[in-house]
Amino acid sequence: MKRFTIAHISDIHLPLESIQFPKLSLVNKRFLSFLSWKKRRLSLQKKRLDIIIDDISRESPDLLLISGDLTNLALPEEFKQAADWLHHLPFKNINIIPGNHDALVKTQWHNSYAFWSPWSQAYNHDDYPIITRYGSIAVIGINTAVPTPPFFANGQVGNYQLNQIRYALQRLKKDNLFRIVILHHPPVSGIVSERKALKDRKKLQKILYEEGVEIILFGHVHRTITRKFLNTNIPMLGIASASSNSNRPYHQAAWRKIVIEKLDDHFHTFSTVRFIDKNGDFSQTHSFYIDHYFQ
């Protein structure tokens, strides 16, 4: 297999200013989130996202992965806006999963996620987890996005997905595939507060620990994170918002580049993060190499 390059971005939060929607849509939790968006809208800028996309384009990745939160309020108009944005991206393969903002309130499938089916490969809620193969690479897309009460941003995998994830990891391992798990919420404790955490993370941790996985990708926290999953050598990688206007370390707009090469008895992986520094230039950080041997 030739080198396979992946670009990972997250928490796009496409701008509300560019769409029109009925003000009556701003009821219940949407109204509170709208007030929150008005306070922080300058911290997320479309121009930063455009710069990130241009930089990714120059690298010509084989796959773009997006780990959720393309919207702010889960409005139908936002789902349509995101679909139009995805349609015009210059990438051959795009794979997305939803985030908590995309499930801010309960929505009807045809008025929300259906617009994203060409990129999620999901045609109803029960389709998750989505398993997508790219040669020797397998992406396991987990949906952790569920509606929550005001002031909460929890995620949940659910028993059906948990069972399917275990089975998929076992099957893909037998085929000697490089398994990438992508979800919106971090799968461990201590990264976000409990009101924003994944509720059934311990159940998911048990599966990932027992069955193994080559890389775990997540978003949600608007911060670039590079660490190991529990007491394993599995890279657990979070990425800051691609729209971030922050200059704080690890919070700058960024994308993660992952290059995977299949050799005779193992996969060789290189990962680095490209971010927009305070001068408006790109810098790199969080770089590492790792080898994954077949078992």
Helix (H, G, I), strand (E, B) or coil at 182: strand
Q: How much is the average pLDDT of 137-145? A: 98
pTM for the model: 0.96
DSSP β-ladder status, 178-182 and 215-218: parallel
Q: How much is the average pLDDT of 132-161? A: 97
Report the run of H or E that residue 44 belongs to, with start and end.
none
Q: Which long-range contacts (CB under 8 A, 24 or more apart) does 119-127 make?
A: 119/66, 119/86, 119/94, 119/95, 120/95, 120/96, 121/95, 126/160
224 beta partners: none
Q: How confident is the model at residue 25 (pLDDT cuts 50, 70, 90)?
A: confident
Q: How much is the average pLDDT of 15-28? A: 81
- Rounded-to-10 torsion of CA 245, 248, 250, 256: 30
Q: How much is the average pLDDT of 28-55? A: 89
